[in-house]
Amino acid sequence: MGRATGRDAGRRGDRRAAVRDTIGVGLGLFPIGMAFGVLVVQSGFAWWWTPLFSVLVYAGSMEFLMVGLISAATPLASIAATTFLVNSRHLFYALSFPRHRVDGRLGRAYATYALTDEAYALTATLPEPELTSTRILAIQVLCQAYWVTGGIVGALSGRALPESIRGFGFALVALFAVLALDAIRAARDVPTPLLAVGCALAAARIAHERMLVVALGLLVVVLLVRHRTRGPGAPPGDVVPDA
């Protein structure tokens, strides 16, 4: 282990880079985590259930749903089915999440467990040479830390700020919009985002309750068709914007 010092310095740099990567997302996760904490306490749970929710079911939108489902004493089978539908978008994340860059069984296990929308978006858009194991794991640990801390702060502050908190939920919309712009810039392609808008609007019309799952399924089908019609020869890196 003679190169340990150089590698430690590299890891420190990766962790610092991860802090920079996650500041924007943290500004979204922390206040939404607070809103979640307030909801948990207002629904009659003790404050310490908030971190338990966020560790056992680490999936923001599903955690919000779980508060209502548990309060209504929903059967476990229904909870399993709902979770499957709401989180089935994660089936698509494995296609481009750089888990193969993460070292060790434990590291890969955590990377898989903590593969949220935000973690996916932050890592899938990083340039290939910057994808180190430490950077990816640090991004994921920080995302969960922002979310859990926000939840605890919200749960402990209780009913103090419900009105202003509601407006802070917009941070989630702004977050996804910003991540969309970054991803579009990284792929340098115009048709895909337009096709995605079409998929979303069609799904909202035909399956409002399950809009997310239907829209993502449609998107995969449309992209498969697009790949096929482009012809088999061209490597994906050569995609040129049509506009």
Partner 1 sequence: MPEGPAILASLLVAGAVTVALRAVPFVVIEPLRRSSVIRFLGLHLPAGIMVILTIYTLQDVPLRSWPHALPEVVALTVTVALHLWRRSAVLSILAGTATYVVLTSWLVSGGAIG
Which residues between 24 and 83 bind partner 1 (CB under 8 A)? 24-25, 27-28, 31, 44-45, 49, 52-53, 56-59, 62, 66, 69-71, 73-74, 76, 79-80, 83
Q: How far is residue 70's CA from residue 78's CA, in Å, rounded to a whole number?
A: 11
Residue 192 makes contact with partner 1 by CB under 8 A: yes
Selected range binding partner 1 among 2-10, 128-136, 145-153, 217-225, rule: CB under 8 A: 217-225
Q: Which of 94, 106, 221, 225 binds partner 1 (CB under 8 A)?
A: 94
Q: Which of 8, 224, 225, 241 binds partner 1 (CB under 8 A)?
A: 224
Give the relative orientation of helices 4-42 and 117-124 as an angle to the nearest 10 degrees: 150
Selected range binding partner 1 among 1-9, 138-146, 153-161, 213-221, rule: CB under 8 A: 213-221
Cβ 132 to partner 1, closest distance in Å? 18
* Residues 121-140 contacting partner 1, CB under 8 A: 121, 124-125
How far from 229 is each of 187, 199, 203, 212, 224, CA to CA, in Å? Answer: 19, 19, 23, 26, 9
Q: Which of 2, 6, 127, 236 binds partner 1 (CB under 8 A)?
A: 236
Residue 88 makes contact with partner 1 by CB under 8 A: yes
Residue 173 makes contact with partner 1 by CB under 8 A: yes
Do 40 and 49 contact (CB within 8 A), yes or no?
A: yes
Instruction: Using the minimum distance from each CB to partner 1, give the nearer residue, 9 or 94.
Output: 94
Residue 102 makes contact with partner 1 by CB under 8 A: no
Residue 159 makes contact with partner 1 by CB under 8 A: no
Cβ 10 to partner 1, closest distance in Å? 25
Residue 215 makes contact with partner 1 by CB under 8 A: yes
Burial label for 92, CB within 10 Å (0-12, 13-18, 19+), is middle
Q: How far is residue 161's CA from residue 101's CA, in Å, rounded to a whole number?
A: 42
Selected range binding partner 1 among 2-10, 138-146, 147-155, 167-175, rule: CB under 8 A: 167-175
Q: How far is residue 17's CA from residue 87's CA, in Å, rounded to a whole number?
A: 29
Instruction: Using the minimum distance from each CB to partner 1, give the nearer residue, 28 or 33.
Output: 28
Do 165 and 37 contact (CB within 8 A), yes or no?
A: no
How far from 123 is each of 127, 177, 211, 233, 238, CA to CA, in Å? Answer: 9, 16, 25, 28, 21
State CA 201 to chain mean position distance: 21
